[in-house]
């Protein structure tokens, strides 16, 4: 990974946590669309559901993460931005809300959670089963 120590540490821990729930995880997943190219910190796959996961240690790159989700469009089912603490989460959420293009119906749902909250929710989740409830279960994990 190209990030600094905390970023890479959190990404590695998230990879392990997602794998324990039965996901397939690609670290530093590169993509190219007709309008954009870049990489995701983690591409998490559960039975056909694809979650883009970005680790951020500050609010400054959140706009770029949303741009990636927009570029990927229907190739992902959700964007999860993972931050180290509640202060960064609050700042990131404010930045997400300021982007007017969130009204775009083609944009996948965006969630922002601290690493601790997401790791705990994943640890409490038994391995996800295949089927229609996978996306519903993921959305429940990310949004409550």
Residues 7-30 as b/e (b if ≥16 CB within 10 A, e otherwise) read bbebbeebbebbeebebebebebe
Q: Which domain holds residue 21?
A: 5-143
Q: How many domains does the chain have?
A: 1
As a whole number, the mean pLDDT across the chain is 81
First to last CA, the chain: 29
Give percent of the chain above pLDDT 70: 78
Which secondary structure element, helix H or strand E, spans residue 25, and what is its range?
strand 24-32
Dmax of the chain from CA atoms? 39
For the beta carbon of residue 33, count every other beta carbon within 10 angstroms: 13
Burial-class residue 5 by CB neighbours within 10 Å (0-12, 13-18, 19+): exposed
CATH of the domain at 30: 3.40.1350.10
Helix (H, G, I), strand (E, B) or coil at 78: strand
The answer to whether the CB of 63 falls within 8 A of the CB of 81 is no
Residues 59-92 have pLDDT tens digits of 788 888 888 888 888 888 888 999 999 999 999 8
What the block records as the tokens of 110 is 């965006």
Question: Which pTM was predicted?
Answer: 0.84
Of 61 and 125, the one with more pLDDT = 61
């Amino acid at each position: 990974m190209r990030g600094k120590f905390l970023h890479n540490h959190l990404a590695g821990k998230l990879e392990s946590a997602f794998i324990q729930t039965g996901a397939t995880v690609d670290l530093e997943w590169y993509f190219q669309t007709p309008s954009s190219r870049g990489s995701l910190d983690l591409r998490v796959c559960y039975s056909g559901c694809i979650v883009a996961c970005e680790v951020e240690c500050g609010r400054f790159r959140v706009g770029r993460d949303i741009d990636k989700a927009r570029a990927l469009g229907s190739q992902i089912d959700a964007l999860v931005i993972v931050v180290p603490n509640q202060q960064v989460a609050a700042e990131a959420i404010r930045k997400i809300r300021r982007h007017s293009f969130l009204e775009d119906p083609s944009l996948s749902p965006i969630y922002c959670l601290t690493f601790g909250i997401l790791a705990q929710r994943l640890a409490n989740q038994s391995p996800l089963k295949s089927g229609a409830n996978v996306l519903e279960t993921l959305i429940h994990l990310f949004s409550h």
